[in-house]
Structure 1
Amino acid sequence: MPSGGIQPKEFYLHEVSESTLMKRISYGAAHDASLLKYNVSPYSVYAPEVIQANPGNFNENWRNFWGFGQ
């Protein structure tokens, strides 16, 4: 897994932080703020297995991040 990839614990912490922030700000702003708080890439939010199982929902940037792009 590349540096900065989210593990399950960090994913849930990100989601809790995002949910709390959404009480005051928009989803997009809350999502971005949560990523910054945990210093992770937006491409790390979904596990590589999810991306591989749903290739039509993710572009090459996601696959490259996880190291299985073309």
Structure 2
Amino acid sequence: MGLRIMPSVVVVVVVVVVVVVSVVVVVVVVVVAAVAFVVAVVASDPVDPLMSGLASSFLPSQSDSAHEDHI
């Protein structure tokens, strides 16, 4: 008497494997896209993008300084 595997167990195992592989592929694609985005942002901005965003939030905008000149 050999070990009998029921067909329903095989189907469940195959479905679980397919779902796990699909999730892993989606995670890898999202990580690769995020890394590519960060590389593109850093390559397009010679200044550190985090610092330029922080500096611009503390500096007055051009429209504010122009408005103050007319007062």
TM-score range, shorter chain: under 0.3
Structure with the larger RCO, 1 or 2 (CA within 8 Å, 6+ apart): 1
User: Which TM-score applies when normalising by structure 2?
Assistant: 0.25
The structure richer in helix per residue is 2
